[in-house]
């Protein structure tokens, strides 16, 4: 199927949209990005590329990185990871804290902040040079050595990250962090600060669409690990809007407060979209619209 006319039409519709959501400002650096940006990139199973708009411009991937950190940690420690982090949707915002106390320091899933902070702790305990090794993992998956951390974004979040600090200390108090809180947060903030384009994200997420094999056909995950990561994306990838995303779009996916969303249709394609304006639940407003239009018009969703 030629997806290009469909992408063009979606971008055209999005460009006319007046209500573009609100760019995140709680991390001050993110507020500098224009809400006019819009890009989309699709990589199909044959690795044909389709793209539109600002698909090659880099942005802060933020929580989209949680999938990549999970993939690396799960690949290293396997099923024992689930003793420290659950696999249930939380039905709450990404930075919600009270549930963590009620549930004795075991985060609901790896895609809320508390869960991702535990995953960062696992990486810190198992990698030799965690920051470098995590970046190397993404670069390998993307087959792109130019991917880097945005240290200004990482610092901006570090300076204002009281809530994540509170989360990490609560985890620590329950004995669910092995390492020093500031060290864990430093890795977590850097991981969130990685900047990538829709093209790079779609190429990276190809591994989840392609049974654990990257675009160069190297194997990173086994098929059962991919099954579990995709299940988590479907049920937990959009916080308290995961049901809505499954209902409207019908793909496993993950959003970030930088306005990016990456999603996959197993064995068919990976897709990334970027529009910085967020809806009230912290997910890209036009990104959701665009993905809904894409799966509806192509009839290509998991349902």
Positions in the binding site for ligand GLN (CB under 6 A): 62-63, 94-95, 113, 157, 164, 192, 256-257, 282
CB-wise, 59 or 208, nearer to ligand GLN?
59
- Sign of the CA dihedral with 34 first, then 151, 163, and 126 last: positive
* Cβ partners under 8 Å of residue 49, min gap 6: 41, 42, 43, 199
Annotated catalytic residue, options 239, 270, 275, 285: 239
User: Which residue, judged by CB position, is nearest to ligand GLN in the bound state?
Assistant: 63
Residue (of 258, 194, 259, 261) closest to 233 by Cα position: 261
* Cβ partners under 8 Å of residue 241, min gap 6: 279, 281, 283
The string of DSSP codes covering 30-50 is: GGGS-TT--EEEEEETT--EE
Annotated catalytic residue, options 37, 42, 50, 63: 63
Tokens 């779609």 found at: 202
Beta bridge partner(s), residue 278: 22, 284
Least distance (Å) between residue 65 CB and ligand GLN: 8
> Please, what is the Cα angle at 253 between 287 and 93, to 5 degrees?
80
CB-wise, 113 or 204, nearer to ligand GLN?
113
Residue (of 68, 8, 65, 5) closest to 38 by Cα position: 8
> Is the Cβ–Cβ distance between 96 and 162 less than 8 Å?
no
Annotated catalytic residue, options 50, 65, 66, 285: 66
CB-wise, 63 or 179, nearer to ligand GLN?
63
Question: Quick check: is 257 catalytic?
Answer: yes
Least distance (Å) between residue 28 CB and ligand GLN: 12
Least distance (Å) between residue 164 CB and ligand GLN: 5
Tokens 């479907």 found at: 234
Least distance (Å) between residue 191 CB and ligand GLN: 8
Strands 39-44 and 49-53: antiparallel
Question: Quick check: is 26 catalytic?
Answer: no
Question: Quick check: is 169 catalytic?
Answer: no
Question: Quick check: is 239 catalytic?
Answer: yes
CB-wise, 90 or 113, nearer to ligand GLN?
113
In the structure encoding, which two tokens stand for residue 63, read together? 């929580």
Question: Quick check: is 188 catalytic?
Answer: yes
Least distance (Å) between residue 63 CB and ligand GLN: 3
CB-wise, 39 or 282, nearer to ligand GLN?
282
Residue (of 240, 252, 234) closest to 283 by Cα position: 240
Catalytic residues, by residue number, are 63, 66, 188, 239, 257
């Amino acid at each position: 199927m030629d997806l290009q006319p469909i992408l063009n039409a979606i971008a055209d519709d999005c460009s006319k949209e007046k209500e573009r959501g609100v760019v995140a400002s709680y991390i001050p650096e993110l507020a500098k990005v224009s809400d006019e940006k819009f890009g989309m990139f699709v990589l199909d199973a044959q690795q044909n590329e389709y793209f539109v708009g600002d698909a090659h411009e880099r942005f802060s991937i933020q929580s989209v990185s949680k999938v990549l950190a999970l993939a690396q940690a799960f690949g290293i420690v396997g099923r024992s990871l689930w003793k420290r982090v659950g696999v249930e949707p939380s039905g709450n915002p990404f930075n919600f804290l009270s549930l963590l106390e009620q549930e004795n320091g075991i985060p609901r899933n790896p895609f809320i902040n508390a869960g991702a902070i535990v995953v960062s702790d696992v990486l810190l305990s198992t990698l030799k040079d965690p920051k470098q090794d995590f970046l190397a993992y993404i670069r390998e998956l993307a087959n792109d050595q130019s991917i880097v951390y945005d240290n200004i974004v990482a610092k901006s979040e570090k300076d204002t990250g009281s809530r994540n600090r509170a989360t990490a200390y609560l985890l620590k108090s329950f004995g669910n962090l092995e390492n020093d809180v500031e060290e864990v947060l430093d890795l977590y903030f850097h991981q969130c600060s990685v900047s990538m384009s829709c093209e790079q994200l779609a190429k990276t997420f190809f591994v989840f669409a392609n049974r654990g094999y990257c675009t160069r056909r190297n194997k990173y995950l086994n098929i059962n690990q991919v099954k579990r990561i995709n299940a988590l994306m479907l049920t937990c990838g959009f916080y308290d809007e995961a049901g809505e995303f499954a209902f409207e779009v019908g793909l496993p996916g993950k959003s970030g407060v930088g306005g990016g969303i990456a999603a996959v249709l197993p064995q068919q394609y990976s897709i990334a979209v970027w529009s910085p304006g967020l809806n009230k639940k912290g997910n890209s407003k036009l990104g959701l619209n665009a993905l809904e239009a894409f799966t509806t018009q192509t009839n290509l969703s998991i349902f």
